[in-house]
Amino acid sequence: MFTGIISDLGEVLNVGEQAAGLRRLTIACGYDPDTIDIGASIACSGPCLTVVARGRGGHRGWFAVDVAAETLRVTNAGDWRRGTQLNLERSLRLGDELGGHLVSGHVDGLAELVSREDLQDMARLSLGAPAELAPFIAAKGSVALDGVSLTVNEVNGSEFGVLIIPHTLKVTTIGALRAGARLNLEVDLMARYAARLLEAAPRH
């Protein structure tokens, strides 16, 4: 589990094709590699990925993950190249502060950035959600976009808006986004469970 509070900005160092559609990514990070266990989970711009190797190069650490075909299909991970910056978050430990909202690292689909309005030190983003995910997005609710926990300001059909504060613009990849960008979207877990409970409830 994660919180959607980004703790580091990583950079893809290498992309290598493995067997059966598996893609191995090597990602530079500011984490001490000695504190990263093989098999640990790190959210990389949304998707929860498993560490298969780690080490140190120069002044930065690095870790490697294998990205499966399904993840490449439903996320924007297929677009990641050498030099791509990624929002990183290590998995939540019991007792850690829950600063954002509960995020699973299981991306539901891709949202498209429809428009961006730059305000003084902030930005207002309007995004389009896939039709099947739109019912799970509510005003004042939470979403994770490229791994970042955000509060939904307004909803209009399948479009929704979020306001990005200065800190988030500075320490995540959100600050560089432009219209047309595709972002990994994870809807609120609570909304999914509520919908499932309603679906399974007996009808009289």
Note whether 8-90 and 109-198 share their fold.
yes
Name the token pair of 19. Answer: 């067997």
Q: Using CA atoms, how far apart are residues 89 and 103, in angstroms rounded to an integer?
A: 11
Q: Which pTM was predicted?
A: 0.92
In CATH terms, 109-198 corresponds, of 2.40.30.20, 3.40.640.10, 3.30.70.20, 3.30.230.10, to 2.40.30.20
Q: Using CA atoms, how far apart are residues 8 and 10, in angstroms rounded to an integer?
A: 6
Where residue 45 falls (left for φ over 0; alpha for ψ -120 to 50; beta otherwise) is left
pLDDT tens readout for residues 15-33:
998 777 899 999 999 999 9
H/E run at residue 66: strand 60-67
Residue type, 69: A
Beta bridge partners of residue 128, listed in sequence order: 112, 159
Inter-CA distances, 118 with 96, 121, 166, 178, 180, Å: 33, 8, 11, 11, 16
Residue type, 148: V
Res 128: pLDDT: 98
DSSP annotation of 179 reads T
Report the pLDDT averaged over residues 71-76.
95
Whether 187 contacts 137, CB under 8 Å: yes
Is a pLDDT exceeding 90 seen at residue 11?
yes
- 128: exposed, middle or buried (Cβ count in 10 Å: 0-12, 13-18, 19+): middle
Note the CATH number of domain 8-90: 2.40.30.20
Report the pLDDT averaged over residues 53-63.
92
Sign, CA dihedral 67-70-75-81, equals positive
Break the chain into its structural domains and give their ranges.
8-90, 109-198
pLDDT tens readout for residues 165-201:
999 999 999 999 999 999 999 998 777 767 666 666 6
Residue recorded with tokens 């999914």: 192
